[in-house]
Amino acid sequence: MMHLFLNRIGRYLEKLGCYAFASVDKVDVVYTWVDGSDPDFCNRLAQYRDAEPNYANPYVAGPRRFRDNDELRYSLRSLEAHAPWINRVFLVTCGQTPVWLKQDHPRLRMVHHEEIFPNKADLPTFNSATIEMHLHRIPGLSRQFLYFNDDIFLGRLVDRNDFFSSSGKPKFWVEPWRLPLLTEASKDLVWSFLAYNHQLLKIAFAEHDYAALPHMPILYDRNELKKIKAFWRREFNRTSSLRFRQKEMFLLHVLYTHYQATLNQCELVLTNHEDCQFVMFHPPMEKIQIELEEIRRTKPKFFGINDDWDDRGESQNAVLRHFLNDYFPTPSSFEK
């Protein structure tokens, strides 16, 4: 049955166009960013959040979702220092601009949500998952591009071989554990939407476990993203209209990775401590400081520092800023 299903998938892909494994010369980077302290943004957020009691969940619309601690500034420093082969940078926002950013930089382009959302009724959105789904619509973006959250950093030199195999296939990094199952989701929002996507994969392809993905850059192909949209059209359109995160929503990076892997169109690479580390910024502070010191000592290729602390004070914010400024002290050309 599985063999017959994959044959049908293969015929379906032939209609959409064959995948070219050879990588293109230029690779752009796309960031998404928001300033959660901006009064206009706060007013819009409150307007839509207060209309639905479920959005009171801190993980959905709490300060952690939108707080800016200049992570983007330091991520750009890491990008310029450790990936000089990158072409241009596209910064996708709801019309905001960091005060320190050099907007006239020749390799920078600001992109408003309205430029990439085909259905303007889906805006404003406060859901990063919906924004990520439309990045392939950015005008002038390279066919293959890297998507960065602003809390992802390059700890040392990376090159194209970290994202492309010797045959030209894209490389995707995966964790040594599986995505959660629906029976394990309980009330946890993150586990719920990961489990939901695990179920989508099982329905589409096969009843086996699919690996979880690390918090790090992912290489997308615009042509392949169009196929993903066509393959899961109903889920794609439904999630695009979700202004806030929900338990049942389309996660592009999860479905894209395993779609490519199932069709043997990519290479999966298992993460390891030397290359990839992750810090969840939440109490206790002692644990955070130990993990930050480990990053400073080992200098992994990729590391993420995810904000998971709603009511933290200035002393906790200072710890993060001090670490980032110490690790990336040299301003990039993107700064005024």
The order of strands in the sheet holding 144-149 is 108-112, 89-93, 28-32, 144-149, 218-221
186 assigned to some structural domain: yes
Inside any domain, residue 139? yes
- Is there a domain that residue 275 lies in? yes
CA proximity to 161, closest of 324, 27, 32: 27
Residue-wise pLDDT tens digits, 185-204: 777 888 999 999 999 999 99
**Which residue reads 């329905």 in tokens?**
203
pLDDT tens, position by position, 40-64: 998 998 888 887 766 556 566 666 6
Please give the backbone phi and psi of residue 213, each rounded to the nearest 5 degrees, phi first. Answer: -115, 145
Q: Does residue 98 contact residue 281 with C-beta atoms inside 8 Å?
A: no
Please give the single-letter amino acid code of residue 326. Answer: D
Q: 28: how many CB neighbours lie within 10 A of its CB?
A: 20
Distance CA 190, CA 247 (A): 7
- 332 located within any domain: no
pLDDT at site 281: 87
Q: Provide the domain limits for residue 190.
A: 2-327
In our burial notation (b when 16+ CB lie closer than 10 A, e otherwise), range 110-121 reads bbebeebbeeee
Is 335 inside a domain boundary? no
Quick check: is 336 in a domain?
Answer: no
Residue 199 CA to residue 178 CA, distance in Å, equals 12
Could you tell me if residue 57 is inside a domain? yes
Q: Please tell me the distance from the alpha carbon of residue 39 to that of residue 45, in angstroms, as a whole number.
A: 10
**Angle subtended at Cα 213 by Cα 256 and Cα 166, rounded to the nearest 5 degrees:** 70
Number of domains in the chain: 1
Question: Can you give the pLDDT at residue 170?
Answer: 97
Whose tokens are 């901006």? That residue is 38
The residue behind tokens 């450790």 is 82
Q: Which tokens sit at 210?
A: 């699919």
**Is 333 a member of any domain?**
no
How does pLDDT run along the chain (336 residues), one tens digit per residue? Answer: 444 434 444 444 444 344 444 445 799 999 999 998 899 998 998 888 887 766 556 566 666 677 788 999 999 999 999 999 999 999 999 999 999 999 999 999 999 999 999 999 999 999 999 999 999 999 999 999 999 999 999 999 999 999 999 999 999 999 999 999 988 877 788 899 999 999 999 999 988 889 999 999 999 999 999 999 999 999 999 999 999 988 999 999 999 999 999 999 999 999 999 999 999 988 899 999 999 999 999 999 999 998 877 777 677 888 999 999 999 999 999 999
- The CATH number of whichever domain residue 294 belongs to comes to 3.90.550.10
pLDDT for the residue 104? 97
